[in-house]
Structure 1
């Protein structure tokens, strides 16, 4: 025998001996662990600890999640419908298996070893054991202990007892632990009265309450129906019900009665708690742990700002309703405020009482109107235009469009640059610019989404046509505030979020949001957009917010359809905070707002109650903050000679007198203007920048020429078309 073979033989023997020793040691560990592991008693050992939610200071309590709602009942009081449904869908071999699945345990160990998260057990026994360990520990040690307990329970505890304890401790959502509490939470009945369809719903929901409970999200309903049908078919396959019954039950979900919502969600704070809960679920935290794991959740909400949002929204909805002689409950104000650069939501007002009306208007998308023009402006600058490029300010019909595009009150401006087009919210100029761009509508939509104006799934108004800049696209106030925050943040987006940190019962940090910054547009373009939007406040439709006495850049928006105003906006930012205010009316949020218009106004403009609400809130939200100036405009592309193609002007309209119109009868309240810059149609001369004359406002003007745009007197009655039109 060669020397090499001798060494190979010795190594083989050593490995074999080592493996045998490991097996013996492992077996000893298993035997000792098995003998020393005690089986849980669900009625004695199962407890939950209340999770508390705090404002951003980590000290002031915002609210709490479910205190344990659990009512144990004996197995004999549970109907066959729920027992058969759970066994059929969750663990068909329950009555014969040893209580654990080796293959499932190996898969779980492999996931943990690779840095994955711990998954639920593959048998009812294992799921029951997992319930007894409400913690976020993702360790093989914990999983090994669960396996030992499952093996011991499977050998020593009757199956009937296991099923009883499981159905008395499993979390069904809505703060309900166990089938009795769940039956009351979902169907307002005792468990003994559950029908087969109702039992199938509860069996579906326990698989993942946050994913299947229709009360959590409207999108859960179709998912629940799919899972429900799976449960019904499983019951048919195990002969718990007949094929004919399965076919009948699978047609639709049973009816859900109106069940009172837990009082802890009362008031406007209910909207905040629900947002926190959903964000944690989306982050991967188990809903049972969220509700009963004794967590400490620190949110991003600023207590003072939140109080100011509630006060401002209620103040102006009541004021508007009282002046109109209407009920304030039919007028809805929404406020969303985001910190620039961090994405932290500082304040959010979705309604006065979550229990009375659970629709969160601050996260409900509605037509963004002319606040969408900021995205069109950014897209135009990126496509090669400059703030000094001139476009058609008169009524015209875009090529291929049979309906003329008009400005508010059919006002004729003549050729205008993008600065004036923005601060006077000139529809025709933005449509003209859109048609001059290659794939203009697509570029505007892409820019809006890149900045953070999220397009809702299936959301209307996002059709890529020449009028996209006018704001038929539906965006929520929260997303609109975040998109404008991206402009304030030099074109860098940061996802909006409401949770800053989560600690477990032992004080360990178990979750922090992963904030990923992404550049949406160049710094120079964002500076130019900010300059144009600051002119809206200095001399345009947003003049009413000058009382904040600090630099503000923003945009008004008023959406009109068939002579009805369906949404009115004011979205604006300082260097530190971006805030969106939206007003809508009626249960649908699509009813006419004009009946709430301010006395003396024919229309509910964005420059009235929305702007007043904004400045009232921001006065408190910015209190104590340093006054910061915006960067001067970069005037991107100013060296390029951009000559837009001429668009035909609709000349058949009768031209009134040439008397200059007054601005106070339109979208803004009468105010005294102080040292506002003048911006007229420029020449191709390079722009000059005028330094600010005094704090806190920055006044940078575009170059002036001696030619003023053609003007006409505004008619006294508003004119809209059947298509949505954005105005100031």
Structure 2
């Protein structure tokens, strides 16, 4: 009865699928055609050799020349006749107990899986696959649990069942099933976990191994042995139920202690290129199989949980790639790889100290160079020399110092309405960061702050804009070392919990060069599997997603050009040779523990880091010194035959005049210009327009709300006006003023009909009052006329009085002038008499023996006679003349 019900349900489901096939094909024709084409391609590979795993993974350079082959040393293919029945029965019992009874597909299992697919909107969440289907999935397909994969799986399984016997299919399956930790096939797993041949395993060990493939991470014998043992017991119970073993063997096997004896196969040594290529390939394979990468987390607990899952999955796929069967085509340019290694080694050759235990240099360096034309990594160096397997370029996370400022703070600030000449006050911040040498410059532009690598300005900007707005810029460029604790302003100058890697920094700076578009920093341009599956499609240029606006990225690039060209800037000695146009930024952490230089041209983006593996202070380590010189040496050499190309300015970057004091845009020629983002300016204008419209709307709403109050006021004043009468001249102004106020208020009434009614009442009463008003208006005019005549009379009297006063004043002035003249004349007479007496005294001062013909005496006599002649007092003049004559007579 139960079996019948399953058949009926299955028939119904397949019937519904068939009925909807026409509609589905019409809607998803392209997808279905793709599935059919993929299946037809893979059918060509359903041959014996396909199921015997290749023994290596090959890595190629950009010219498709082999860089390295990763050889799987321990893989062994074993025929079914050499595989003990216990291992065969264990897998059949737990994975597909009706394997030898049904065809390629189990109706019961497929029905269960289809129900789950429909419940989960096309995503398969549980199995139902036969061993044949699992074989197909292991060899031909990814681990994605989607409807199209299930369809391919079923179609290929049918083809395999058509071509091979059940025994051969089981042999293929047992040699291809994955046991975790790079172990494919039962023989390989037996040697890997127990260092035994498969024929020498006990029943319990056999079931233990069979437990792993269901979920190699969950049932990892090393990290989750308890889980593995539980599933071993489940498998033993299934074998008992299917009568493959008896109760005695079951009890004995359950009680048996599992003792692992892991083998350590010698793996080929990684170098900087292969380790990075494998890392990229592993992530690509994870992505291909549907792993969801995350960069932003609700909490550190959430992040820890994800990292644990990521670590398990990554380790699993890393071993798969290294186990063989993959072709990894990279973008690595071996000539540039050699040059970058030489530049790092020669740039740090002065540091000769080594760790006595590891024989590694104490001072290390790492560098990444991206081909901006394609977005792919052209060269990657993870340390000094080529013997060190530790690739610091992507495995080492260090504090980025000031190198983080452009990508975390300044470019995002431009996205948020700042511009290169926006001004911020550089000053001491209590509890905040300090500038180099503790110097502060007051109000500075963002352009100057970047060129001088000031620390206060990015700290202030991040405080203003908020870490929640700025940190996502790094997350969108797949920075993986970000923690919740990093959401604070000190991150603006490179203060992170974990830090950043050279690969991440290269990706971020390449994003600036590419107008704000980010591409995954990878060297894998194509990746295929031995079955013909294309894991990574070959494409000339990497796809990019927008992180910054084009305008902001260009403005940042223009500023970073100044870091290399301005005499006062931190990188002014690192400008490239032959006029090659470049942009860059230095980075130095506290106590000189880490040094960075991140820079780019239109051709290449290169990032260099220098420091010690265990952070320590390094003498004279600054971004512009060792990292900067390595960067310049490498960039100069790879640009030798390349024509300088300017960074392309978007049409939407415009120049505007700026107030030098405030940094704000002005509408007049201030003599100072810089860049603005037109979309941002348009946005600001639109916000201003909306704000004004909102203010008007708010004002209008408030005005409408107060309409009843205005009507009430008009009604009140109209009633008062209608009760008024002109009774005197003084009443004219009061009543007219009341009328004008009412007229104004009526003009403010929104309801036109009501306003007209009020106006009619006002005009009616005004007309009634007009005769009375005219009467008192005439009285007022007569009064004003009389007042004018009185004023004129008063003005006439006042004019006469003023004339008299003026005449008297003139007489007094004449008298005063006369007296002053007399005084002056008297003073002149006295002065002449004084001068004459003085000249006579000079004549008399000559000694008695003076000859009267002496020239000096004669000059004195002549002077005295001249001055005596000007004396008006004749009596005095006579006396003075006599005195001169007497002196003359006394001389010889």
Using structure 2 for the length normalisation, give the TM-score.
Answer: 0.53
Cα distance, 1:469 vs structure 2: 0.9
1:390 is matched with which residue: 410, 423, 429?
A: 423
Cα distance, 1:307 vs structure 2: 1.8
For 2:342, what is the secondary structure of its paired residue?
helix
| Residue 177 of structure 2 is aligned to residue 180 of structure 1 | no
| Residue 564 of structure 2 is aligned to residue 552 of structure 1 | no
- What residue is the counterpart of 1:444 in the other structure? 470
Inter-partner Cα distance in structure 1 for 2:346 and 2:441: 37
- What residue is the counterpart of 1:308 in the other structure? 339
- What residue is the counterpart of 2:521 in the other structure? 496
2:504 is matched with which residue: 472, 479, 486?
A: 479
Distance 1:208 1:236, change over 3 A: closer
Distance 1:341 1:270, change over 3 A: closer
Inter-partner Cα distance in structure 2 for 1:229 and 1:542: 58
| Residue 378 of structure 2 is aligned to residue 346 of structure 1 | yes
- Total equivalences in the alignment: 573
1:147 is matched with which residue: 147, 150, 158?
A: 158
- What residue is the counterpart of 2:350 in the other structure? 319
Gap runs ≥5 in structure 1: 1-18, 20-36, 213-220, 398-402, 646-682, 691-728
Contact 1:51 1:296 in 2 (8 A): yes
Contact 2:139 2:531 in 1 (8 A): no
Contact 2:588 2:594 in 1 (8 A): yes
- What residue is the counterpart of 1:713 in the other structure? none
- What residue is the counterpart of 1:698 in the other structure? none
Cα distance, 1:71 vs structure 2: 2.5
For 1:367, what is the secondary structure of its paired residue?
coil
For 1:554-574, what per-residue CA distance to the aligned partner results, in whole angstroms no more than 9, with x for missing partners?
A: 1111222xx4x4432111111
Where do residues 652-663 of structure 1 align in structure 2 (5 Å cutoff)?
Answer: none
Highest CA radius of gyration, 1 or 2? 2
- What residue is the counterpart of 1:101 in the other structure? 106
For 1:122, what is the secondary structure of its paired residue?
coil
Cα distance, 1:64 vs structure 2: 2.7
Contact 1:580 1:614 in 2 (8 A): yes
1:687 is matched with which residue: 665, 668, 672?
A: 672
Cα distance, 1:618 vs structure 2: 2.0
| Residue 218 of structure 2 is aligned to residue 233 of structure 1 | no
Distance 1:384 1:231, change over 3 A: same
| Residue 61 of structure 2 is aligned to residue 55 of structure 1 | yes
1:541 is matched with which residue: 570, 586, 591?
A: 570
Cα distance, 1:56 vs structure 2: 1.5
Contact 1:171 1:177 in 2 (8 A): yes
Distance 1:526 1:296, change over 3 A: same
For 1:483-540, what per-residue CA distance to the aligned partner results, in whole angstroms no more than 9, with x for missing partners?
A: 1111111222233332223467799977416843322222222222112212222232
Contact 1:524 1:636 in 2 (8 A): no
Contact 1:638 1:686 in 2 (8 A): yes
- What residue is the counterpart of 1:123 in the other structure? 130
Inter-partner Cα distance in structure 1 for 2:508 and 2:475: 8
Cα distance, 1:98 vs structure 2: 7.1
For 1:94-142, what per-residue CA distance to the aligned partner results, in whole angstroms no more than 9, with x for missing partners?
A: 698777523556799999xx9999x998233543466676999989688
Inter-partner Cα distance in structure 2 for 1:88 and 1:685: 86
Cα distance, 1:449 vs structure 2: 3.3
Where do residues 586-625 of structure 1 align in structure 2 (5 Å cutoff)?
Answer: 586=613, 590-592=614-616, 594-595=617-618, 597=619, 601=620, 604-625=621-642
Contact 1:392 1:416 in 2 (8 A): yes
Where do residues 116-265 of structure 1 align in structure 2 (5 Å cutoff)?
Answer: 122-128=129-135, 143-144=154-155, 146-147=157-158, 149-150=160-161, 157=167, 166-172=173-179, 176-185=183-192, 206=213, 212=217, 230-239=227-236, 259=264, 261-263=266-268, 265=269
Inter-partner Cα distance in structure 1 for 2:381 and 2:195: 31
Cα distance, 1:149 vs structure 2: 4.5
Contact 1:544 1:612 in 2 (8 A): no
Inter-partner Cα distance in structure 2 for 1:351 and 1:260: 26
- What residue is the counterpart of 2:278 in the other structure? 274
Contact 2:368 2:608 in 1 (8 A): yes
Inter-partner Cα distance in structure 2 for 1:389 and 1:281: 46
For 1:56, what is the secondary structure of its paired residue?
coil
Inter-partner Cα distance in structure 1 for 2:50 and 2:512: 56
Whose relative contact order is higher, 1 or 2, with alpha carbons under 8 Å and at least 6 apart? 1
Distance 1:483 1:152, change over 3 A: closer
Where do residues 628-707 of structure 1 align in structure 2 (5 Å cutoff)?
Answer: 628-631=645-648, 634=653, 685=670, 687-688=672-673
Cα distance, 1:481 vs structure 2: 0.7
- What residue is the counterpart of 1:70 in the other structure? 75
Inter-partner Cα distance in structure 2 for 1:636 and 1:206: 64
- What residue is the counterpart of 2:598 in the other structure? 571
Higher helix proportion:
2
For 2:352, what is the secondary structure of its paired residue?
helix
- What residue is the counterpart of 1:424 in the other structure? 452
Q: Higher mean Cα deviation, 274-283 or 532-541? A: 274-283
Distance 1:620 1:91, change over 3 A: farther
What is the Cα-based RMSD across aligned positions, in Å?
5.3
Inter-partner Cα distance in structure 2 for 1:385 and 1:477: 28
For 2:608, what is the secondary structure of its paired residue?
strand
Gap runs ≥5 in structure 2: 1-18, 20-42, 238-249, 290-316, 676-892
Contact 1:362 1:476 in 2 (8 A): yes
Inter-partner Cα distance in structure 2 for 1:686 and 1:487: 29
Contact 1:537 1:543 in 2 (8 A): yes
Distance 1:49 1:644, change over 3 A: same
Where do residues 323-338 of structure 1 align in structure 2 (5 Å cutoff)?
Answer: 328-338=360-370
Inter-partner Cα distance in structure 2 for 1:627 and 1:430: 31
Cα distance, 1:169 vs structure 2: 3.9
For 1:639-675, what per-residue CA distance to the aligned partner results, in whole angstroms no more than 9, with x for missing partners?
A: 5899699xxxxxxxxxxxxxxxxxxxxxxxxxxxxxx
Contact 2:72 2:267 in 1 (8 A): no
For 1:456-499, what per-residue CA distance to the aligned partner results, in whole angstroms no more than 9, with x for missing partners?
A: 16x44862222221112322211211111111112222333322
